[in-house]
Structure 1
Amino acid sequence: MKLSKTLALALAGVLSLGIMGCGSQAGTGGSADKKVKIEYWHVAAENFGGQTVKQLVEEFNKSHPDIEVTEKYNPDMYKGLTQNLQAALASGKNPDVVQMGYSYLNYANDNLKYTDINELANKYDKGYLQENFLPNVLALAQTESGKQIGLPYSVSVPVLYINPDLFQKAGLDPNNPPKTWSEVAKDAAIIKEKTGDPGFFMQEYADNWAQQALIESNGGQMLKKENGKVRAAFDSPEAAQAYQLLADMVKNGSGLHATNEEGFQAFISGKVGMVCTTIGKRANFEKSANFKVIAEPFPVFDGKARKVPAGGNFLMCFSKDPAKQKAAWEFIKFLESKEALTKWSTGTGYLPPRKGMDAEGSAFKKVIDGNKNIQNALSTMPDLVKWASFPGANGLKAEQLLIDVRDVILSGKESAADALKETAEKVNALL
């Protein structure tokens, strides 16, 4: 099934869940001293697409002599970027183009003064959005009321990365990888027993994307609506059971509770058997590991359907000056061009949102055909759900509470059931 059609079919169901969460033309030839300078904010660390960001910015600047783009990396993923963005907007020193995480869609719409992407498109390239993106893909960056606040840029799903060498060392068959979470826990324990190394690590970014996949795949929910209000739903038995699975692995030593840097480095160094994180880490893992990295579909719970939140980001514009708005639009179009998206996807692992990327003979189609890991990620696209997004002025605080409770649970300070119940009460008070 073609990538664009796969995205459309998958997102049709995702986007009905209301609460859950062409290259640019060359520059116009202005002189160097009249360059329009704009700033691009992103979350791509050096080992997570940062080099590709630099490459793309350099290419754009060379082909647009009247525009100069400066890129800025923001740590702590989308939470850190959003906090920095709020401070910048308050001081009047706002960036122009920003990678905004899908989980901050509602928060951005409710609290940030952005530039309407439809106005830019209608002013400079009428019909661009509809001609280059499928409706259900565009809807990834739309509010519940259907307002388009940005353009989808990166799409990702969580996958299970495997070190086949450690599997073989532990007497396990890497060609028969775990497909359920009970099998993950069992294999992680065997790896720990036979090799002395932890068997499993789940990403611990400053968000709850991977944990949402775990909870919802066990039949739980992150958010729900009661009497027209958004409420926490992660205090259910299903959510507690899913989280307790992680805590139990950490407690018995088969699971690793660490920073992302520590967990990912341990994996690529051959010291962790499995890592659950975004397909967006594929390129870095494949390049950096001293073994052949295998990416398998996100595991399921016995007898239950897989549900994986659509991760990644969309591009927003915050330019106020008309000249900067035009320059920002040119840069957004460049980033969304087929050539640039192929480089971005190849350099990270993210899946591109634009129509026609998988056309027969295209550069990205060749990448897909030659990489089983990408194919496995694409196989879970029909299982997409929307990344939970907290609305209102307290959305960032609510997100932080969920990040904090992850450490409480994985550190063994409280049971998952008790910790999630307490956190749900705090989140509901904020909402």
Structure 2
Amino acid sequence: MKRTFLITLLVVAVAAIGFAAPVKVTMWYAQTGIYSQTLLDIAAEFNKLHEGEIEVEAVYTGNYQDTMQKLLAALVAGDVPTLAQIEQSRIGQFVDGGAFQDLNYFIDKDPEFKATLDDFWPRFIQANTYEQGLLGFPLNCSTPLMYINRDLFKQAGLDPDNPPKTWTEVYAAAKQIKTLGEDIFGYRFGIDDWLLEAYIWQFGGQIISEDGEEMLIYSPETVAAWNFFQKG
């Protein structure tokens, strides 16, 4: 009787292990359109590969600002998601609050993955590394592009197959296109904060020192950048 009872217990234990619920991973994301679909496809592929073991639930939480506000509220409530997509410039208060897990803790336990870190552009890894360690991975990184209006180029006597390659050439082309009329402008100046940073960097300037202790917004290089983009 005892042996039969023991075997029954073992069978029940094995059955319980076999039907254990998969580990649930909640991921908040702020992308839309083709970007969100790519992310959802990756999550679906991961779930299929780890079926019965790990299940990723991707939850759209609004734009960057909406997601950040929801994450702050979740942090206060003590009910945060496993993963969250946050625009990098908005994470200061999370870093100061110690809200992020140092990913090196997991990376060091996975030599195979650790060997692939060089697949990431080093600057992106550096941008996600703070005193507390590696706090995130680059999911999507915006890249500014310059588009030209081929018709306007032709009308202004410019070659659309040989677009400007330097800021000096951009300025010269913009001046020439402007001669086509008062309501025509040679260059549309983007004013998003990350674009302003790019302009400064391309002129050799910095916004803040590497140690984060000194503002460099009034450096000669930064002033030169703004002077250039104010040229008439």
Task: Report what 2:59 is aligned to.
Answer: 71
Q: Secondary structure at the match of 2:213?
A: strand
Matched, 1:34 2:52: no
Matched, 1:201 2:185: no
Matched, 1:178 2:164: yes
Percent identity of the aligned residues? 29
Matched, 1:131 2:119: no
Matched, 1:230 2:213: yes
* Larger radius of gyration between Structure 1 and Structure 2: 2
Deviation at 1:223, TM superposition (A): 0.7
Partners of 1:46 and 1:107 lie apart in 2 by 29
The one of the two structures with greater contact order (alpha-carbon pairs below 8 A, sep at least 6) is 1
Q: Secondary structure at the match of 2:221?
A: helix
Residue 148 of structure 1, aligned match among 128, 131, 134: 134
Residue 158 of structure 1, aligned match among 131, 137, 144: 144
Task: Report what 1:96 is aligned to.
Answer: 82
Q: 1:93 to 1:165 in 2, by over 3 A?
A: farther
Q: 1:83 to 1:191 in 2, by over 3 A?
A: farther
Q: 1:199 to 1:111 in 2, by over 3 A?
A: farther
Residue 95 of structure 2, aligned match among 100, 109, 123: 109
RMSD value, Cα = 3.6
Task: Report what 2:174 is aligned to.
Answer: 188
Q: 1:192 to 1:136 in 2, by over 3 A?
A: closer
Partners of 2:96 and 2:62 lie apart in 1 by 21
Partners of 1:203 and 1:212 lie apart in 2 by 11
Partners of 1:70 and 1:212 lie apart in 2 by 31
TM-score by length of 1: 0.41
Task: Report what 1:215 is aligned to.
Answer: 200
Deviation at 1:132, TM superposition (A): 0.8
Partners of 1:42 and 1:181 lie apart in 2 by 36
8 Å CA contact 1:121, 1:127 repeated in 2: yes
8 Å CA contact 1:211, 1:243 repeated in 2: no
Partners of 1:54 and 1:191 lie apart in 2 by 43
Partners of 2:185 and 2:30 lie apart in 1 by 28
Letter in 1 for 2:135: I
Q: Secondary structure at the match of 1:167?
A: helix
Partners of 1:198 and 1:40 lie apart in 2 by 43
Q: Secondary structure at the match of 1:60?
A: helix
Aligned length: 210
Partners of 2:44 and 2:121 lie apart in 1 by 32
Q: Which protein is richer in strand relative to its size?
A: 1
8 Å CA contact 1:215, 1:238 repeated in 2: yes
Deviation at 1:73, TM superposition (A): 4.7
Letter in 2 for 1:39: T
Deviation at 1:101, TM superposition (A): 4.2
Q: Which runs of 5+ in 1 are unaligned?
A: 1-28, 250-431
Task: Report what 1:46 is aligned to.
Answer: 33
Q: Which runs of 5+ in 2 are unaligned?
A: 1-16
Letter in 2 for 1:127: P
CA deviations over 1:49-80 (Å, ceiling 9, x no partner): 223223323333444433141232542x4x65
Partners of 1:199 and 1:38 lie apart in 2 by 49
Partners of 1:235 and 1:104 lie apart in 2 by 23
Q: 1:229 to 1:239 in 2, by over 3 A?
A: closer
Partners of 1:245 and 1:130 lie apart in 2 by 44
